[in-house]
Amino acid sequence: MKNNNLESFQKLSQQNMDKALKIFGEWHEGWRAISAGLTDFTKRSFDDSAATVEKLLSAKSLDQAVAIQSDFAKRAFDAYLHELSKIGGVYAQLLKNPTTQSRDSTILRSTNDHSSREQP
């Protein structure tokens, strides 16, 4: 009886450790994806800003400069919203997975607790 409880405890501990390592791995991958996405977005934004400054410096009239600036503002805003949407999806997935796994783990522990109490 005592040996069986010890084996059950060890098995449950191993299952929980495996789930925790899986959750940590998913968190790491999610944060890495967010970091890589933000780095790429920053580089593209900087390159677009530099190209816009070059166009502004070569503008022949105030109307042309205003048109270049307006086009840049629209592109920057659209790029920002697109990137925000992508990162929001990664955040949502990042937060969804551990919550689901945590709930499943709680159900697993609850089921194991009830089954161990029913045994004489």
Report the domain count for the chain: 1
Greater pLDDT, 118 or 27 = 27
In a domain, 35, yes or no: no
Q: Which domain holds residue 52?
A: 40-107
In a domain, 9, yes or no: no
In a domain, 8, yes or no: no
pTM of the model: 0.63
Q: Cα(90)–Cα(69) distance, rounded to whole angstroms? A: 31
In a domain, 55, yes or no: yes
In a domain, 15, yes or no: no
Between the CA of residue 34 and those of 2, 48, 90, 93, what are the distances in Å? 48, 21, 7, 11
In a domain, 90, yes or no: yes
Task: Judge contact between 116 and 8, C-beta under 8 A.
Answer: yes
In a domain, 92, yes or no: yes
Q: What percent of the chain has pLDDT over 90?
A: 42
Each residue's pLDDT tens digit, 52-98: 999 999 999 999 999 999 999 999 999 999 999 998 888 888 777 65
Q: Cα(41)–Cα(33) distance, rounded to whole angstroms? A: 12
In a domain, 30, yes or no: no
